[in-house]
Amino acid sequence: MRVFAAKLGKAFLTGCGIRVSVFCISWRNVTAEDRGLSLDDDRKLGVMAALDAIASIVPGQKIHAAGYCIGGTLVALAAAAMAEVGDGRLKTMTLFAAQTDFTEPGELQLFIDDSQVSFLESMMWERGMLDRSQMIGAFQLLRPNDLIWSHMIHDYLMGERTPMIDLMAWNADATRMPYRMHSEYLRRFFLGNDLASGRYMVDGRPIALQNIRAPIFAVGTERDHVAPWQSVYKIHYLSDADITFVLASGGHNAGIVSEPSHPHRHFRIATKAPADLCLSADEWLAEAPLRESSWWPAWTSWLTERSAPEQAPPPMGATEKGYAPLADAPGTYVLQS
């Protein structure tokens, strides 16, 4: 991962009225030459490099970190490592469909045991990476009626091509993962559950999610076949921080990309303070009231309550800080095949 050269400067957060400086990082579409990149490289060259850049461009400001799926897991890992050494740069942490405890990862567990991981490692060893087609195929097999057969019937047998929409295009834009990183991810998290159990080591020291003190906003989705919401909910059992949990309608993608103008959306939300009783997922579901609409305004309100007064955004590019633009937007990664 690398920090995007272009910063989304003075931006409105999804039209909900919050004016913030937004910085993004992106997965780098790796090649065989990147086979040795590790999970800790993702932490250091991705999350921590981004935080260092932000701290240099906007000095003295607390940072609201957000991560999606594996990116959210990496944000949680980085936050725990930061807490271990007293790095207090994070103001809040938002996790979108991100697991931190992998004891019940849902149907994906069908594809992950020692023998299958060993087989996958053998394939990745030859190519140096996990190819996008292998990842897409695994996710499609979790919901074959929706993601395979319905499209075959509609597009092939009936000859009616489904028109492309933005979410479908984004969903098709998968990326590759380096051999070492993906192997560590499967073995350390899915098989060993090292992050939740306090066995994951950073710089020779075990890290604990219990040490995170920044408020957490976690989002699960009702029909998530990649990160089931009950698994995402387990952050409640792992952190003593203030946790606001949202259960949104939709699946792993559409439940997160759920703009306020989108019809037929609903969500549930509740906050657990450190002194509150921790409910099970089923108990939480029974008590959290149902709200009609997108959950995005609730998130922006949550951020507003925890944000400093509005300030002028920093200059685009921040060349004087040593972060000169590398290329015009949208950058070079989108050109990789």
What is the three-class DSSP state of 35?
A: coil
Vertex 98 angle, CA 108 and 38, to 5°: 80
On the 0-12 / 13-18 / 19+ scale of CB atoms within 10 A, 83 is buried
Q: Which residues are catalytic?
A: 69
What stretch of H or E contains 330?
Answer: none
DSSP string, 97-130: S--S--S--GGGGGG-SHHHHHHHHHHHHHHTEE
Q: Which of 277, 208, 223, 280 is nearest to 253 (CA)?
A: 223
Q: Which of 14, 85, 2 is nearest to 42 (CA)?
A: 2
Are the C-beta atoms of 69 and 139 separated by less than 8 Å?
Answer: no
Are the C-beta atoms of 212 and 77 separated by less than 8 Å?
Answer: no
Distance between CA atoms of 29 and 306, rounded to whole angstroms?
A: 34
DSSP conformational letter for 43: I
Distance between CA atoms of 77 and 200, rounded to whole angstroms?
A: 9
Are the C-beta atoms of 27 and 1 separated by less than 8 Å?
Answer: yes
On the 0-12 / 13-18 / 19+ scale of CB atoms within 10 A, 205 is exposed
Distance between CA atoms of 1 and 39, rounded to whole angstroms?
A: 11
Q: Which of 84, 83, 81 is nearest to 46 (CA)?
A: 81
**Residue 224 identity:** D
Q: Which of 280, 130, 116, 281 is nearest to 191 (CA)?
A: 116
